Amino acid sequence: MNKGILFFNAPWCQPCQVLKPVIEQLGRDGINVKSINTEYDAMNTERYQIKSIPTLILTDLNGNEIKRTQAGGWTKEQVLNWFNS
């Protein structure tokens, strides 16, 4: 697989907590995912200029951004459609 998902979130963010199990399932299904807590990872939060959460960023395996979206409340199918489009 030549791409992955960065999932920017925080423990206090309710929409992030709703999306978290979906992202974790995608990881178990073989998609390369990385959960980034914006409270503790200022470097990546700044690098990708995160302004609101939850944010999903599709990257190549070098970390270069392909596209991004705000994904609060998305189902697994919605995330997969975004990932594959």
Domain ranges of the chain: 3-84
- Helix runs in the chain, H state only: 14-28, 42-47, 76-84
**What residues contact 17, with CB distance under 8 A and at least 6 apart?**
9, 11
Quick: pLDDT tens for 26-49: 999 999 999 999 999 999 999 999
Q: Report the C-alpha gap between 23 and 27 in whole angstroms.
A: 6
The answer as to CATH 3.90.600.10 being correct for domain 3-84 is: no
pLDDT of residue 1: 60
pTM of the model: 0.93
